[in-house]
Structure formats: C-alpha cells, structure tokens
C-alpha cells in the first residue's frame, strides 16, 4: 500500500491564475465594447421621460385598429405555414445525405453539412431584405425567406434524429436484399416520423414569431403594419399590433405544443 | 396513432379497434388539407417583379465579385470596424442581460413547496411577454430614447435576451442537483451561505454555457438591428441593398458569414470545456 499523499495545489491553482485571467479578459472586452458602442448610462436616464412618454402612449392601445390587422395576421400565419413546408420538403433529402449512418461517403457528407452550416449563419431579416429586392414587396419574399430559414434549421434537426435511429431493422432489410428506397420507407421512416413532425411544428412556432417582423422590410404580413405605425408615430396602434402578435404566437405555441405531446 | 399499432410487438390482431383510432388518420388528413388550402389560397403571389431575373443575376455577380476595398480603409466605417462594433453590441448586451436574468430566473423557477405555482407562473408569463416583444420594436423604442447608434442596439439586446436567458436559467435552477445545498443546510448554514456556497457554484457552469449560447444568437440579431438604425453592420447592409450596390452587399454578407461561423465555433469550444 502506498502512503496517502496530501494533494498540493500548484502555483497557478493557488493564485487562481485561470480565473483571474478570464475575468481580466472579460473586463477588458466589456470596457472595449462599451467604449466602442458609446454606452452612456446617464444619457439613458436623462432621456428617460421620452422613453416613458412612449410607453405611456403604448399603454393605451387603439382597439379600433383590431379589425384592420386581422387579415395581415392571417397572412403572417399562412406565410409561416407555407415557408416551413417548402423548407422541410427541401430539407429532407439534405438531412438524409448529411446523416452519418446512412451516407458513408465522408466527402459528400462534409460538403452537405458545410452548405447547411453556411445557410444557418444568415439572419432571417437579412435574407428578407435581399428577397424583397429580388421579388418586390409582398408575401412571396417572406415565404421564400422563411423557406430558406427553416431549411437550414430543419435539415440539422432532422439529420441529428436520423443519426439516433436503431440500425437493426435496416440491417435486417439489407440482408434480405431490399433496395435503398424500400429500406428508407419501411425501416427509417417509421422510426423517425413522430420526431420529424414534432420538429416541423417547433420550426413552425419559430417561423410564426419570425414572420411577424419580416414585413418590417416589406416581406408581407403584420410587419408591414408594424412598420407603418412606427413610422407614423402611432404608438397606440403599435401596441395593438404587438398584443395581437402575442396572442397569435401563444395560440400557435399552444396548439403546436399540444400536438407535439400527442405525438411523442 | 396507427404508428403505434404497427410498432407494437403484438403478433395477434387487436379484435375491437376503437372506431376513432381507426379513422383518426382520415380526420387528420382532412384537417391538414384544410389548413394548406387555407394557407395557399390566402396568399397573393402577385407583385412579382419582371426584373427579378436580372436583379438575381446582378446579386450573384456581386456575391462572386465582392468589393474587397471595403474590408478595411481606416475610416472606421469599413467592414472590419463595423463587424467589431456588431460583436461589441452583442457582447455587452448579452452580459448585461445575463446579470438581469438571474433574479428573473429565480422568480420563474418552480419551487418545491410553492403553493399553486403563483410566483413561478407569473414569472414565466413575464418572461414569455419579454420574449415575444419584437426585438426590432425594442430597438426603435430605444432609438427614441438615446438616439440612433449602437447604444440603442446594446439596450435592445440586453432587454430582449432576458426573455430567453431567464427561461433557460430558470429551467437550470429547476433541474439542478440539490445535494450541495442540503449538505450546507445539514452543516448548519444559513440561507445566504447556502446560496453563496452551494447554489451559485452548482449552477454557474450552466449559466455561463447558456449565456455563451445566447451570445451566438445575439451576434446574429446585432447584425440585423442596424437595419433600423441601431448600429453595427446592418446599417451599411441595408444602404447597400437600397442603392443596389451588390458587390458591397456581397462583401458584407461574406463578412457576416465568417463572423458568425467564427463566433459559433469559438463559443462551442468554450461550452464543451465548461460542461
């Protein structure tokens, strides 16, 4: 038996070099950032009355505006549904090609994953601005933006699901000589269908949230009215729009959460 | 529903199948078809510009031939300076929001002996409200208060991130390991001691990890907040799109993609080391 040794703290542990280093780095970064962004806490409070004025005007929603925004709210949901669906249709083949247990060619998988990573880096509003320039103002630009946005998201979620499936049924079918398509249809799909639908609904929730602001840049839906009310300083209308958006988002979240619970 | 019947390992057929379960797929089919008919017929795909083809061509041309001169010219209005400014907005905003989120998280976390979930329920509602409030509208409101520029962006990110960080933090608190807390209690510690010596050390790695994750998202939103005038790379981006300066758009897009990829990789590495 070896004699027990009392553990000794090294010099760097004793003086907490790591913690001090990280803290110093963070403080330096934060100071640099606040200098660069011109943060001035005093200015915020000296202009606070302007901010409260705005809040006061927003706290008196113009309820008469509600009937006007119902149609654009529908349009927002319709855009989200179509955009998510189109994105999903394109995402499925990419997800299959990116899954390491189905595609053994490492180069093909790497290229597909790189494409998906690149697509996911682009913020939705940036895409919307570009598609409005291409397709003109209207919901077409919004649907395409949401399609690309959900394509990037769903393909990643889907290939991660595919990678977790049980390979047993696949091997069984392979051993009796089934074709690739038959294997995917009878061995892969039944295992992943519920999770696919669940992720589809989850993406739909996110897209409903996203589509409410896309219109700000002209891509259709309620955002168009949001932009109008803000540029006309009609903050009581802005308040109605935000409240209505909140209701829609909560209803969609509720329905989608319920469906996902039924599925899983 | 029929998925479960095919997946079940019962060789014999179920004799009395509930008629609802038998026909539920048809009802689902009709429902889904109805939703899609509503969605497709409701949207007007008019307003397609005839110039769509030529515009896309010039966009592709601009993306292939980016305006390299814009990368750095020492004016402080170039790509590198504005990307650094974008990162500064995201960093500062996320940091401030992480600090504000902690009390919100303890408010919204479900307690073990809580009566009727009144406290945590109200906290959760407040966090949902903050999360749903569009970040762009927040940015515009703060522009009214402090003028256009990156300060408004910092404020918008700080407030908006509370919604998500508060939720993630509160879930971390609900799922945390109570062992360390119980140990301090059994050793006779009072509640400030329990909080400082057990709760904070147990929860800290997860809090930092979520904050880093939220920072990744903040980088993306900071890069678009400039579109409404809240500083960062978004401002030159929207100008370039409006003036159809596609090679400028190309280099900015490239800059954003590289920035986001770098930050995501860096943050992922840090998060892996934390947990």
In tens, the pLDDT along B18-30 reads 666 777 788 888 9
* ipTM of the prediction: 0.82
Across the interface, which of A32, A121, A136 has its CB nearest the CB of B257?
A121
Say how far apart CA A180 and CA B224 lie, in whole Å: 43
**pLDDT score of B14:** 56
Q: What's the half-sphere exposure (Cβ side, CA atoms, 13 Å) at B105?
A: 28
CATH code of A65-263, in short, is 1.10.3720.10
Going by pLDDT thresholds of 50, 70 and 90, the confidence category of residue B13 is low
Chain A residues with beta carbon closer than 8 angstroms to that of B35 = 81
Helix residue spans in chain A (DSSP H): 11-14, 17-37, 41-46, 48-58, 66-98, 106-121, 124-135, 139-162, 168-175, 180-183, 189-214, 223-231, 235-263
How confident is the model over B164-204, as pLDDT tens digits? 999 999 989 888 888 888 898 898 888 888 888 888 888 99
More confident residue, B213 or A188: B213
Report the gap between the CA of B233 and the closest CA in chain A (Å): 11
**pLDDT score of A179:** 85
**pLDDT score of B208:** 92
Question: Inter-chain contact B256–A130, Cβ cutoff 8 Å?
Answer: no
Across the interface, which of B137, B141, B145 has its CB nearest the CB of A226?
B137
Joined together, the tokens standing for residue A50 give 């302007």
**pLDDT score of A210:** 87
Question: Inter-chain contact B136–A213, Cβ cutoff 8 Å?
Answer: yes
- Range B249-274 average pLDDT: 90
B80 at interface of A, judged by CB pairs closer than 8 A: no
Residue B231, SS3 per DSSP:
coil
Residues B93/B161, Cβ–Cβ less than 8 Å: yes
Say how far apart CA A152 and CA A156 lie, in whole Å: 7
More confident residue, A3 or B86: B86
Kindly write down the DSSP assignment for every residue of B120-186, as one continuous string: HHHHHHHHHHHHHS-HHHHHHHHHHHH-SSHHHHHHHHHHHHHHHHHHHHHHHHHTS--HHHHHHHH
Residues of B numbered 112-151 whose beta carbons fall under 8 angstroms of chain A's beta carbons: which are they? 128-129, 132-137, 140-142, 144-146, 149-151
- Range B114-120 average pLDDT: 77
Residue A44, by phi and psi: left (phi above 0), alpha (psi -120 to 50) or beta? Answer: alpha
Question: Inter-chain contact A36–B91, Cβ cutoff 8 Å?
Answer: no
**pLDDT score of A85:** 94
Across the interface, which of B52, B224, B256 has its CB nearest the CB of A135?
B52
Residues of A numbered 141-200 whose beta carbons fall under 8 angstroms of chain B's beta carbons: which are they? 143, 190, 193-194
Residues B134/A37, Cβ–Cβ less than 8 Å: no
For chain A, the structural domain boundaries read: 65-263
**pLDDT score of B97:** 96
DSSP one-letter code for A188:
I
**pLDDT score of B46:** 62
Question: Inter-chain contact A126–B256, Cβ cutoff 8 Å?
Answer: yes
Question: Inter-chain contact B150–A37, Cβ cutoff 8 Å?
Answer: yes
Say how far apart CA A139 and CA B43 lie, in whole Å: 7
Question: Inter-chain contact B145–A129, Cβ cutoff 8 Å?
Answer: no
Rg (CA), chain B: 26
pLDDT at residue B4 greater than cutoff 70: no
Cβ contacts below 8 Å, chain A against chain B, sum to 165
Question: What letters, b where the CB count within 10 A reaches 16 and e where it falls short, cover A29-61?
Answer: ebeebbebbebeeeebeeeeeebeebeeebeeb
A36 at interface of B, judged by CB pairs closer than 8 A: yes
Joined together, the tokens standing for residue B192 give 């400030």
Report the gap between the CA of B121 and the closest CA in chain A (Å): 15
Lowest mean pLDDT among A72-86, B16-30, B60-74, B213-227: B16-30
Report the gap between the CA of B161 and the closest CA in chain A (Å): 15
How confident is the model over A189-220, as pLDDT tens digits? 888 888 888 889 889 988 988 888 888 888 88
Across the interface, which of A50, A193, A226 has its CB nearest the CB of B145?
A50
Q: What is the pLDDT along chain A (264 residues), one digit of tens a residue?
A: 566 777 777 877 777 888 888 899 999 999 888 888 888 777 777 777 777 888 888 888 888 888 888 888 999 999 999 999 999 999 999 998 888 887 788 898 889 999 998 898 888 888 898 888 888 888 888 999 999 999 999 999 998 888 888 888 888 888 998 888 888 888 888 888 888 888 898 899 889 888 888 888 888 888 888 888 888 888 888 889 888 888 888 888 888 888 888 876
Q: Which structural domains are found in chain B, ordered by start?
A: 70-274 (1.10.3720.10)
**pLDDT score of B1:** 42
Say how far apart CA A77 and CA A95 lie, in whole Å: 26
B84 at interface of A, judged by CB pairs closer than 8 A: yes
Residues A141/A128, Cβ–Cβ less than 8 Å: yes
Say how far apart CA A114 and CA A76 lie, in whole Å: 31
Question: Inter-chain contact B146–A117, Cβ cutoff 8 Å?
Answer: no
- Range B216-233 average pLDDT: 90
Question: Inter-chain contact A75–B45, Cβ cutoff 8 Å?
Answer: no
Chain A residues with beta carbon closer than 8 angstroms to that of B36 = 81, 85
A254 at interface of B, judged by CB pairs closer than 8 A: no
| Cα four-point dihedral sign A222, A224, A226, A228 | negative
Joined together, the tokens standing for residue B176 give 């945390």
Say how far apart CA A165 and CA A174 lie, in whole Å: 15
Nearest CA in chain A to B244: A133
**pLDDT score of B5:** 46
């Amino acid at each position: 038996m070896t004699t027990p040794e009392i553990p000794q703290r090294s010099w760097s542990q004793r003086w907490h070099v790591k913690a001090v280093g990280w803290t110093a780095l963070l403080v330096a970064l934060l100071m640099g950032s606040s200098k660069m962004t011109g943060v001035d806490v005093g200015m915020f409070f000296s202009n606070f009355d302007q901010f409260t004025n705005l809040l006061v005007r927003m706290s008196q929603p113009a309820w008469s505006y509600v009937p006007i925004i119902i149609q654009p709210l529908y349009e927002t949901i319709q855009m989200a549904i179509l955009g998510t669906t189109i994105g999903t249709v394109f995402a499925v083949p990419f997800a299959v090609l990116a899954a390491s247990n189905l595609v053994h060619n490492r180069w093909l998988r790497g290229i597909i994953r790189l494409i998906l990573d690149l697509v996911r880096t682009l913020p939705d509003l940036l895409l919307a601005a570009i598609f409005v320039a291409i397709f003109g103002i209207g919901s077409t630009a919004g649907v395409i933006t949401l399609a690309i946005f959900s394509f990037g998201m769903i393909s990643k979620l889907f290939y991660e699901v595919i990678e977790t499936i049980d390979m047993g049924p696949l091997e069984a079918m392979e051993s009796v000589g089934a074709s690739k398509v038959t294997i995917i249809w009878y061995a892969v799909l039944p295992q992943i269908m519920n999770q696919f639908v669940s992720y589809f609904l989850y993406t739909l929730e996110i897209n409903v949230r996203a589509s409410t602001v896309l219109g700000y840049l002209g891509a259709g839906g309620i955002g168009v009215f949001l932009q109008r009310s803000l540029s006309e300083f009609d903050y009581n209308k802005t308040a109605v729009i935000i409240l209505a958006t909140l209701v829609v988002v909560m209803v969609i979240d509720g329905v989608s959460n319920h469906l996902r619970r039924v599925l899983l | 529903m029929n998925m479960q019947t095919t997946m079940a390992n019962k060789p014999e057929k179920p004799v009395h199948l509930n008629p609802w379960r038998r026909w539920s797929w048809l009802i689902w089919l009709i429902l889904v078809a109805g939703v899609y008919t509503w969605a497709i017929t409701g949207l007007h795909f008019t307003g397609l510009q005839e110039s769509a083809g030529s515009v896309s061509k010039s966009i592709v041309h601009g993306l292939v031939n980016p305006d390299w001169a814009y990368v750095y010219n020492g004016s402080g209005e170039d790509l590198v300076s504005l990307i650094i400014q974008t990162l500064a907005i995201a960093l500062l905003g996320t940091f401030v929001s992480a600090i504000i989120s902690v009390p919100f998280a303890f408010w919204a976390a479900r307690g073990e002996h809580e009566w009727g979930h009144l406290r945590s329920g109200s906290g959760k509602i407040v966090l949902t409200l903050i999360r749903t409030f569009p970040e762009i509208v927040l940015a515009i409101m703060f522009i009214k208060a402090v003028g256009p520029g990156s300060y408004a962006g910092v404020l918008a990110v700080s407030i908006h991130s509370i919604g998500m960080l508060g939720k993630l933090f509160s879930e971390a608190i609900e799922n945390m390991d109570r062992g360390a807390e119980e140990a301090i209690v059994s050793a006779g510690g009072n509640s400030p001691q329990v909080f400082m010596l057990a709760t904070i050390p147990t929860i800290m790695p997860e809090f930092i990890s979520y904050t880093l994750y939220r920072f990744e998202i903040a980088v993306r939103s900071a890069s678009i907040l400039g579109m409404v005038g809240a500083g960062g790379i978004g401002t030159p981006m929207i100008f370039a799109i409006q003036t159809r300066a596609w090679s400028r758009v190309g280099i900015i897009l490239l800059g954003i993609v590289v920035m986001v990829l770098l930050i995501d990789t860096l943050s992922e590495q840090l998060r892996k080391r934390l947990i």
